Amino acid sequence: MPKSKSMNEDQLEEVIIQVINGAVATIPSYLEEIKENKETLKVENPQEFVYGVVLGMALGMGGAILSSQKEIPTTEDQMMIRDIVYKHIPDIRERIFN
């Protein structure tokens, strides 16, 4: 059975934005978790830590989505995902640090 037609860049960006929004919505619980587990986690800057988590989720999910559409994402696919995520960094940082 053939796989479905690959997503275009706009569709992929829409999904990545949904992932970012979902990740950003969990920021308060991440910050609370870090505060409650200071000794175990040893995180010096909770906001920077959460920023890394959100970026990792967005980049990782972008790759996972493309992998489900076809074979392993190419270098070009990965760069496209990175460019989409990086385009949203100012918004992500504002939502975490303000």
Kindly report the CA angle at 79 between 23 and 95, in degrees rounded to 5?
Answer: 25
How many domains, the chain? 1
Q: Does 4 reside within a domain?
A: no
Query: Which residue range is the domain that position 30 belongs to?
Result: 9-97
Tokens of 55: 């970026």
Q: Does 48 reside within a domain?
A: yes
Residue 4: the pLDDT is 46
pTM for this prediction? 0.79
Residue 12: the pLDDT is 87
Cα 5 from Cα 3, distance rounded (Å)? 7
Q: Does 16 reside within a domain?
A: yes
Three-class SS state of 5 = coil
Residue 21: the pLDDT is 93
Tokens of 32: 């609370």
